[in-house]
A and B are shown apart, each in its own frame.
Chain A
């Protein structure tokens, strides 16, 4: 038995995906902004007497497509011919939504109108006469609330009933001036056996590009017919598309809009609650500062170790927190830092870090008791668990960050940000619409790249795909956090982790804007498309939706940790512990310290001689044989740290590529351990979490024993500090990772979206951009005066662009 296909079609943000989820039990992404769905989704409705396949189509305003995702919706309806179309109509915006309905009526496919958001309508005191509307439309109309899952079963019953009854296409254009031309074209289509002849006839008369291309003979006949008539003399000046649109709206206004009974008359100029909020949030001057404050608040809640700056505002509380932190109680330090009370994100992070460290200790103890060899313990505890734990520790913080972004998205605020930023983005050659996929990039670059399908202009789309990775995704957050921690630990005077991370995110956005400006001024020049986006109504984010998002994120993050990252950790450990002739390097190595007096001493001996003290001097690592040669008695088999790791396969590869990163500050100038940054940057190409996993795997070997109490993520921080890397080089490292080639999956996605030709240049763009950004950040950070050199380079670039554009314009004029 063939399963029936029902297509969900409607305007963007009318609740199609919410209905899809309610019908199929799916958890597809629902967002409070138009254009969330860019591809069709399939699910099965199983509650009826027979299973029905439900297809969720991208939102469309009409069947004349302008963007790739609108083409998907139109093609599905016309080519796949579903058994029934469920047309979702936003009852709070009846007139505009029925415009699409009048077009769907022209396709001879059974149809049911689902009047959605009737609960919102009721709240406003309005009512739609459903029966009258049904009579006038000639198709079943069912009142539903997709969000509250009301009326869903009735809708499906009527849809199944309708699907079993063939429907003749009807048009509301019968009285229109152009109907003669439409009828004429319809006859031609009927004679040629084309399905849905009425629909094709209307589109042909509208001079729809796709239609004219598909049926050139009929198009010519229609043009001849129009030429004979006097339509060009009317107010539309021969624009048939505008004339038909006008006829539709006139019909809707006269026949359908009257079914809406308003509870109270809306006074002219009266503002709704949403309008009042928008007056402030989308204000010309205050809009962007408010957005930056909200964005900072998100980072503050996620990363701050001085929540609400209570420790600074109330000095007594700050002193008290400092006292608590000085106690070095592992459980109290989860809640209190030296400055104040930790933010929710930071508390969860420290809690998770403590848990992963404890699990690590248990694994170590278990393997030691089982009599495992030191290399096996090293592989499991330092290599595998060290890497995975470093990544897992950041999960709570990523979830808090993601939760904040989901709340902003679900509330409808993000759509406003697109509107606010349109003013800025327009100057750089892209519309505010491009901001929506960019903001999605904060979660993951892949859906963000796919979402660029909502951009009609191809050049704008390509430029947007290229800059999406600059919007730091969830996988990059651990790199930022770990390095922000290291910057604080270096005693730079900056104590706010949230401020550092926020600045890094902003820097990524600034790089994106500069790149857009460059692209749109040179190789991707073109008109900035107009930005038309319906601002959705504000509403409270749904708890269920938020939890679905979080659960999904958590599930896949953990899955990734125990698959790709696990494998990467094993490979990194093996490569960093074996030399090219497969000799295990760790077993006979020992660590020692060089005192300021130049005396060498075993770290253990030093710690024994200085009880209660922490080592703060230089730490050098060497082979046990070298140690013996100096006449010291070996204190038994010591774990980990050794300079011989530089002889490992990974070390030698890392040292080979290390010079490439010298201009960026994390290359040859770092000496012995600089290669870890080079290796981390490369492993990050598989998945960005691998950067921190690489640090985690290598941390035990490099930082182990430097400060004996360090565990978990702090060990990563200790390792970074132990490499003697400078702050500008660290920021350069972050910027390089933020702007370079993204993970494999995102690269594949970009290839799919751009096509081979543009993709090659996209790879080059990412490499050049990241290298240049890293280089600029490092040189200016290390030697401030280089800012003048870079300014000169920028000035030359601008001159170059102006000359290039002049030449291109001249060439274009000549060709014309």
Chain B
């Protein structure tokens, strides 16, 4: 296997793991974003309710 092939495998694996991990982290933080774009969203704050609730609970 050539270096370029290994590089492609590594990059693909990093992309998959990175995106999935980022999604899990976002979910845990309560940022269940829809990817529709917050600034054009009528209720963007609804995506952050879980986080807000945690904050309120802490307070």
Other-chain contact of A752, B12, B20, B22, B49 (Cβ < 8 Å)? B49
Chain B residues near A31 (CB-CB < 8 A):
42
Scoring B1, B2, B9, B43 by chain A CB atoms within 10 A of each residue's CB, the highest score goes to B43
Measured between beta carbons, the chain B residues less than 8 angstroms from A752 are: 46, 49
Inter-chain residue pair count (beta carbon < 8 A): 111
Q: Indicate if A212 sits at the interface (CB-CB under 8 A).
A: no
A42 and B45 contact, Cβ closer than 8 Å, known pairs A372-B8, A447-B36: yes
Given contacts A376-B5, A379-B8, A556-B37, contact A563 B42 (CB under 8 A): no
CA gap between A15 and B44 in the complex, in Å: 18
Residues of A within 8 A of B20 (CB): 567
* CB–CB A571/B16 < 8 A: yes
- A19 lies within 8 A of chain B by Cβ: no
Do A570 and B35 touch (CB < 8 A)? Answer: no
A residues 366-394 touching B (CB-CB < 8 Å): 367, 370-373, 375-376, 379-380, 384
Contacts of A27 in B (CB 8 A): 39-40
B34 interface residue, CB < 8 Å from A?
yes
Q: Give the complex CA separation of A714 and B35 in angstroms.
A: 27
How far, in whole Å, are A373 and B45 apart by their CA atoms in the complex? 47
Question: What are the residues of chain A within 8 A of B36 when measuring CB–CB?
Answer: 443-444, 446-447, 556, 745
**Complex contact A370–B43 (CB within 8 A):** no
- Does A38 have its Cβ within 8 Å of any Cβ on chain B? yes
**A contact residues around B16 at 8 Å (CB):** 567, 570-571
Contact status A559-B35, CB under 8 Å: yes
Query: Which B residues from 7 to 51 make CB contacts under 8 A with A?
Result: 8-9, 12, 15-16, 19-20, 22, 32-47, 49
Contact B37 A567 (CB under 8 A): no
CB of A653 within 8 Å of the partner chain: no
A745 and B33 contacting across the interface, CB-CB below 8 Å = yes
Check B35–A745 contact: CB distance below 8 A.
yes
Rounded to whole Å, the gap between the CB of A477 and the closest CB of chain B is: 14
* CB-contact partner of A447 in B4, B5, B12, B41, under 8 A: B41
Q: Which residues of A contact B44 (CB under 8 A)?
A: 28-29, 39, 41, 447
Are B5's CB and A372's CB within 8 A?
Answer: yes
CB distance from A362 to the nearest CB of B (A): 15
Q: In the complex, how many angstroms separate the beta carbon of B38 from the nearest chain A beta carbon?
A: 8
Is A36 an interface residue, CB under 8 A from the partner?
yes
- For the complex, give the distance between the alpha carbons of A373 and B7 in Å: 12
Q: What's the minimum C-beta distance from B17 to chain A, rounded to whole angstroms?
A: 9
Task: Return the CB mask of A29-56 against B: 1 if under 8 Å, else 0.
Answer: 1010000111111100000000000000
A29 touches B40 (CB 8 A): yes
Closest to B46 in A: A450
- Min CB–CB distance A12 → chain B (angstroms): 12
Q: Evaluate whether A552 and B39 lie within 8 angstroms (CB atoms) in the complex, with A384-B12, A564-B19, A746-B34 already known.
A: yes
Least Cβ–Cβ distance between A449 and chain B, in angstroms: 8
Tell whether, in the assembled complex, residue A556 and residue B8 are in contact, meaning their CB atoms are under 8 Å apart. Answer: no
CA distance in complex: A27, B38 (Å): 9
Alpha-carbon distance A792/B32, docked complex (angstroms): 45
- Tell me, in angstroms, the Cα distance from A202 to B22 when the chains sit together: 51
The distance in angstroms between the C-alpha atoms of A26 and B41, with both chains bound, is: 12
* Bound CA span A719–B37, Å: 32
A748 contacts chain B at the CB level, 8 A cutoff: yes
* Residue of B whose beta carbon sits closest to that of A450: B43
Q: Which residues of B contact A570 (CB under 8 A)?
A: 12, 15-16
Q: What chain A residues lie within 8 Å of B35 (beta carbons)? A: 556, 559-560, 564, 687, 745
Complex Cα gap A571–B39 (Å)? 31
Query: Which residue on chain B has the smallest CB distance to residue A746?
Result: B34
Q: Mark A562-583, 1 if CB is under 8 A from B, else 0.
A: 0110110011000000000000
Residue of B whose beta carbon sits closest to that of A37: B42
- A749 and B43 alpha carbons, distance in the complex (Å): 11
Query: Which chain A residues lie closer than 8 Å to B46 at the CB level?
Result: 39, 450, 749, 752
Having A29-B41, A567-B15, A746-B34, one finds 15 other A-B pairs with CB under 8 Å, namely A27-B40, A28-B39, A28-B44, A39-B43, A367-B4, A367-B8, A373-B1, A376-B9, A384-B12, A440-B42, A446-B34, A450-B43, A451-B42, A555-B37, A748-B34
Residues of B within 8 A of A (CB): 1-2, 4-5, 8-9, 12, 15-16, 19-20, 22, 32-47, 49
- In the assembled complex, 7 residue pairs joining A and B whose CB atoms fall closer than 8 Å, in A order, are A26-B39, A376-B5, A444-B41, A447-B36, A450-B41, A552-B40, A564-B35
